[in-house]
Each structure stands twice: as C-alpha cells, then as structure tokens.
C-alpha cells in the first residue's frame, strides 16, 4: 500500500497502534468481567478509530488516483475511486 507522504504513513501506523492497545484493553475488560456498557463504549471507540484510518487511507488513494487520471487522461482511475469508496461505505 502506498500512502505517499511519510508523515501520513506514520500517522496511520500510530493510529493503528493506538487501536491495537484499545482492543487489548477491551479483551482485558471482558476477562475482568467489566460492565457491558463500558465495554460497548470502548468497542464504539475502536470502530470509530478504524473508520478514521479507512478514511485517511481512502483519501490518500483517491488523491493518487485523481493525479494519475489527470496525468494519463484515464477514466479507469476514477472508476477505481468509486470502487474503493463502495468498499469503504459497505464496511
């Protein structure tokens, strides 16, 4: 996966590490039999964080496709953007 700028790549990796820690925290909450409301709050936070990662990756990919389409005068890149948007929305 090409994320373009190194700072974007590092930001995504940091977010994923934070999400990984949140998931481990949820596992521990379940093992410790914490209140379901607290667990669900954390699950919602993880879902939101994953969605944000998806949006960052999609935005970067869309920018690359648009640049490619403009440079190559190709409609294929625009179709690829639509396809990727569909995958992101369905998830």
Q: Is residue 1 part of a domain?
A: no
Whichever domain contains 17, its CATH number is 1.20.58.1000
Q: Determine the average pLDDT of the residues in 36-42.
A: 98
Report whether 9 contacts 40 (CB < 8 A).
no
Which alpha helices (DSSP H) does the chain contain, by range?
A: 6-31, 36-72, 76-90
How many domains would you assign to the chain?
A: 1
Q: Is residue 42 part of a domain?
A: yes
Residues in the chain: 91
Instruction: Give me the pLDDT at residue 88, please.
Output: 80
Instruction: Give me the pLDDT at residue 49, please.
Output: 97
Question: Tens digits of per-residue pLDDT, 42-65?
Answer: 999 999 999 999 999 888 888 877
Instruction: Give me the pLDDT at residue 2, please.
Output: 61
Cα 63 from Cα 54, distance rounded (Å): 14
Query: Residue with structure tokens 């996966």?
Result: 1
Q: Which domain holds residue 15?
A: 6-90
Q: Is residue 46 part of a domain?
A: yes
């Amino acid at each position: 996966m090409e994320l373009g700028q190194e700072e974007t790549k590092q930001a995504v990796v940091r977010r994923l590490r934070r999400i990984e820690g949140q998931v481990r925290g949820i596992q521990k909450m379940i093992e410790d039999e914490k209140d379901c409301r607290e667990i669900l709050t954390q699950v919602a936070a993880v879902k939101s964080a994953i969605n944000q990662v998806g949006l960052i990756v999609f935005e970067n990919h869309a920018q690359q496709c648009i640049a490619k389409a403009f440079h190559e005068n190709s409609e294929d890149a625009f179709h690829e953007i639509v396809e990727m948007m569909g995958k992101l929305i369905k998830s």
